[in-house]
Amino acid sequence: MPDVVATHVDDYLCTAYAMDQDKATYITSFNPSATSNDAHHILLFGCTEPGSQEKIWNCGEMSFADDSSAQNYKSAPTCASGSSIIYAWALDAEKTELPQDVAFKLGGSTPIKYLVLQVHYANLDKFKAGETDRSGLILTKSSTPTPKRAGVFLLLTGGYIQSNTEEVFEAACRIDQDIEMHPFAFRTHAHKLGLVNSGYRVRGEGDDQEWTEIGRRSPQLPQMFYPTQNDVTIKQGDYVAAACTMYNLQSHIVRIGSTGNDEMCNFYMMYWVDGDQLLQNDVCSSSGPPRYYFGHDRDLNVDKIPETAFRVPPPPNGPAPGEPLLGGHHHMTMQHKANPRKRQHRYQYIF
Ligand code: IYT
Ligand code: CU
Ligand code: CU
């Protein structure tokens, strides 16, 4: 960050960095230069156009809901067009290296013309002491292509959850492109109501269908990219599916939307391919509940979804035993009670 001053706890500030448009840049590692004393999280976006022409602007999901009067910087989205996440940091995480021979390709003829750094400020201590902030990321870059290319595939839903109910937000898409993807990291994102998000490769048909977990994590834990546990390869004809289990204890309906009081159901899959050809269609979206469930798709055999899909995993991907899941509400046990009900609900959709 170019010496910014945050004025509110939970400010999201952005700055853009123009990529070389004449030749491509290859990024192989991300070295954080930040501490959790100042920054709650950092996201690095690739944008075709940045959200603003300003050097620093107020960005992020919540910023539009705030009154902008007391802000140092103008409010704008992170990207004006063509956005993708390429790195996420939180909780004093160490340097991240991509797997051997894998790099993100940016600039040149790619759609990523700008990198935008987004920092979420957790407190104002250093600003009150008269200091400015320079939190950021140091990238390892090269102009030499690596043999493997990194990309990010995003699954998300719309929809809503009624008050005092459990709901599962689901999205699934068939991979139509001739491609072989190797997922190596995943990231889950939801707001306050998310209990667990999981992602799957779905291969085969009918009784022979297999759902293989790509990643599963509570979105209440730091939302970085974490390495996948098993080696899964995704090919043309496979489906990629994601499910987000939420519980709404509030007395009002909560919809998918962009503020902190809305919800989101996101599953990010970071993958590599041999060569240069990434997935063209890198977002999979569904209308979410109550309009869409996996059961609406004839190609998905919901009996094959692993039982664990809707369960909060043990540490490191879930909270430690006894730890509250959602800001002090102890309803972890509902998970187990509610799942059979949910699955029965599913059977309505089987033809
Ligand atoms: C409505 C929703 O789910 N928004 C998500 C996913 C999203 C990511 C990107 C939507 C768009 C994007 O270009 I990249 I359009 C969302 O805003 N997720 C937040 C981000 O601020 C990226 C997150 O932390 O995952
Ligand atoms: Cu944060
Ligand atoms: Cu969000």
Distance CA 164, CA 345 (A): 17
What does the pLDDT average to over 110-124? Answer: 94
- Residue 203: in which H helix or E strand, if any? strand 194-203
**Which residue from 266, 283, 286, 287 has its CB within 8 A of the most atoms of ligand 1, so it is best to mutate?**
266
What does the pLDDT average to over 291-299? Answer: 97
| Closest listed residue to residue 45, CA positions, set 76, 14, 68 | 14
Distance CA 221, CA 326 (A): 10
Return the CA Rg of the chain. 20
DSSP letter for each residue of 135-182: -EEEEEEESSPPSEEEEEEEEEE--EE-TTEEEEEEEEEE--SS-EEE
Strands 283-286 and 234-235: unpaired
Q: How far is the CA of 223 from the centre of ligand 2 (A)?
A: 8
Look up residue 73 and give its two tokens. 């910087």
Percent of the chain past pLDDT 70, that is, above it, reads 89
Domains and CATH numbers, the chain: 11-143 (2.60.120.310), 149-304 (2.60.120.230)
Q: Which ligand is nearest to the CA of 256?
A: 1
Ligand 1 binding pocket includes 83 (Cβ within 6 Å): yes
Record the pTM: 0.90
Q: How far is the CA of 294 from the centre of ligand 2 (A)?
A: 31
Peptide bond before residue 77 is cis, with ω within 30 degrees of 0: no
| Closest listed residue to residue 147, CA positions, set 302, 277, 8 | 277
DSSP letter for each residue of 20-33: PSSSEEEEEEEEEE
Q: Are 245 and 196 in contact (CB under 8 A)?
A: yes
Beta bridge partners of 255: 160
Confirm whether residue 189 is marked as ligand binding: yes
What does the pLDDT average to over 231-260? Answer: 96
Coil, helix or strand at residue 321:
coil
Band the pLDDT of 62: cuts 50, 70, 90.
Answer: low
DSSP 192: S
Percent of the chain past pLDDT 90, that is, above it, reads 78
Nearest CA to ligand 1 atom 25: 189
Ligand 1 binding pocket includes 85 (Cβ within 6 Å): yes
Dihedral sign for Cα atoms in the order 218, 222, 223, 229 = negative
- Model confidence over 243-254: pLDDT tens digits? 999 999 999 999
| Closest listed residue to residue 223, CA positions, set 185, 251, 262 | 185
Q: Which ligand is nearest to the CA of 120?
A: 2
Q: How far is the CA of 275 from the centre of ligand 3 (A)?
A: 32
Residue 64 has pLDDT above 70, yes or no: no
- Model confidence over 210-227: pLDDT tens digits? 999 999 999 999 999 999
Look up residue 123 and give its two tokens. 């407190």
Q: Which of ligand 1's atoms lies nearest the C-alpha of 189?
A: 25
Taking the C-alpha atoms of 75, 136, 29 and 24 in order, what is their torsion angle to the nearest 10 degrees?
50
Q: How far is the CA of 274 from the centre of ligand 3 (A)?
A: 31
* pLDDT score at 69: 55
* pLDDT score at 121: 92
CB atoms within 10 A of CB 171: 27
CB atoms within 10 A of CB 236: 12
